[in-house]
Structure 1
Amino acid sequence: MKPAWEWEQASADDVRLILALCSNLSGSKTGSLVGVEGRQVRKWTAGDARIPYAAWALLVHEAGLGWIASVKG
Structure 2
Amino acid sequence: MQKESSVKIRPECLKPAIYWEKPTGAEIQEIVRQAGFTGRLAADYLDLADKTGRQIRRWISGETDIPYSAWALLCHAAGHGAIWDINADEMRQHRRALEREERDG
Relative to the length of structure 1, the TM-score reads: 0.86
Task: Name the structure, 1 or 2, with higher relative contact order (CA <8 Å, separation 6+).
Answer: 1
SS at match of 1:50: coil
Q: Kindly, what percent of the aligned residue pairs are identical? A: 35
SS for the counterpart of 2:86 is coil
2:81 to 48, 51, 66: 66
Aligned to 2:54: 39
Distance 2:20 2:58 in 1: 20
1:34 and 1:50 map into 2 onto residues whose CA distance is 15
- 1:29 maps to which residue? 41
> 4+ residue stretches of structure 1 with deviation over 2 A?
none
Offset at 1:26?
1.9
Residue 72 of structure 1 deviates from its aligned partner by 3.0
Task: Give the TM-score of the pair, scaled to structure 2.
Answer: 0.62
Q: CA deviation at 1:39?
A: 0.7
Give 1:61 deviation, angstroms. 0.2
Structure 2 unpaired stretches of 5+:
1-13, 90-105
- What letter is aligned with 2:31? I
Q: What residue number does 2:67 align with? A: 52
How far does residue 51 in structure 1 lie from its aligned partner after superposition?
Answer: 0.5
1:22 Cα deviation from its structure 2 partner: 1.4
Q: CA deviation at 1:69?
A: 2.2
| 1:19 Cα deviation from its structure 2 partner | 1.0
CA RMSD of aligned residues (A): 1.3
Aligned to 2:101: none
Q: Structure 1: which 5+ residue stretches go unaligned?
A: none
